[in-house]
Structure 1
Amino acid sequence: MVNYQENHLDDVFSVLSDPTRRKIIEELSKGEKTVKKLAEPFDMSLPAVTKHLKVLEKAQIVSFRKEGRYKYYFLQPEKMKDAIEWLHYWRSFWEDRLTRLEQFLMETKEEDE
């Protein structure tokens, strides 16, 4: 099975469970942005977006750099690596099982004919 840190994996999936945070991650995948720019597509206040960013920071999925009085947030996609590996393992697991089921059903159908 995949070797991953259980707590970090829990944090990542918890963060990804929120659609607003997923959208923020999508936006940051296009490049770094300020809170104001990140808030534009949402019908929410800057403090609300900042709260989402703090959750993403805690999970180490985003980070920021300061330039003057502005914070520029950027994505740290490598921090989602454990979740990607975990999902890949289970995708392969189920694809293998479904392929075997398909083969079994095809063989059973051929025997019935």
Structure 2
Amino acid sequence: MKNAPRAKSACTGVQIGVLLSQMGKYDPDIQAVFQALADPTRCAIVATLGQGPRTVSMLAEPFEMALPSLMKHLAVLERSGVVRSHKQGRIRTCELVPERLGQAEQWLAAQRAMWEARAERMVEFVETLHRQEQAHGRRRR
């Protein structure tokens, strides 16, 4: 069994472990989404499904892995709610559940807003200190 190709994806470079360690008090469903997206193979599957529903066979084509290994990745994505599948006869078709990704996106947007507000307060604080130092320096002369 060979490993999946290390294709560039939206998830590459994201420090998921750091993100998850800060999520302890948040919705466990959101944690499941981020954990599912922590794997490059699953990110590639999500990116493919973003283009539309695919059969399991179609999803397996770009990866050099056994079908049971791919099915394990799909199971993780399904448990997280990011992907759903249905079987018609012998063919299993998978599709993306955009609402689940939207929930994760909302969480990230809230985090971004919080950090941007903190950064703005830090800038204001530094500017205030700078003005105070300048005023204090002028008085000494």
What TM bracket, shorter-length normalisation? 0.7 to 0.9
Q: Secondary structure at the match of 2:52?
A: coil
Residue equivalent to 1:13? 34
Task: Write the letter of the residue equivalent to 2:93.
Answer: Y
TM-score by length of 2: 0.67
Q: List alignment gaps of at least 5 residues for structure 2.
A: 1-25, 135-141
Residue equivalent to 1:74? 95
Residue equivalent to 1:98? 119
Work out the CA distance in 1 between the residues paired with 2:60 and 2:92: 13
Residue equivalent to 1:86? 107
Work out the CA distance in 1 between the residues paired with 2:28 and 2:133: 50
Work out the CA distance in 1 between the residues paired with 2:125 and 2:79: 47
Percent identity of paired positions between Structure 1 and Structure 2: 39
Per-residue deviation, 1:77: 1.5
Find the structure with the greater CA-based Rg: 2
TM-score by length of 1: 0.81
Flag the structure with higher helix content: 1
Task: Write the letter of the residue equivalent to 2:54.
Answer: K
- Which of 1 and 2 has higher RCO (CA within 8 Å, sep 6+)? 1
Residue equivalent to 1:37? 58
Per-residue deviation, 1:100: 2.3
Residue equivalent to 1:47? 68
Q: List alignment gaps of at least 5 residues for structure 1.
A: none
> Runs (4+) of structure 1 moved beyond 6 Å?
none
Per-residue deviation, 1:107: 4.6
Per-residue deviation, 1:69: 1.7
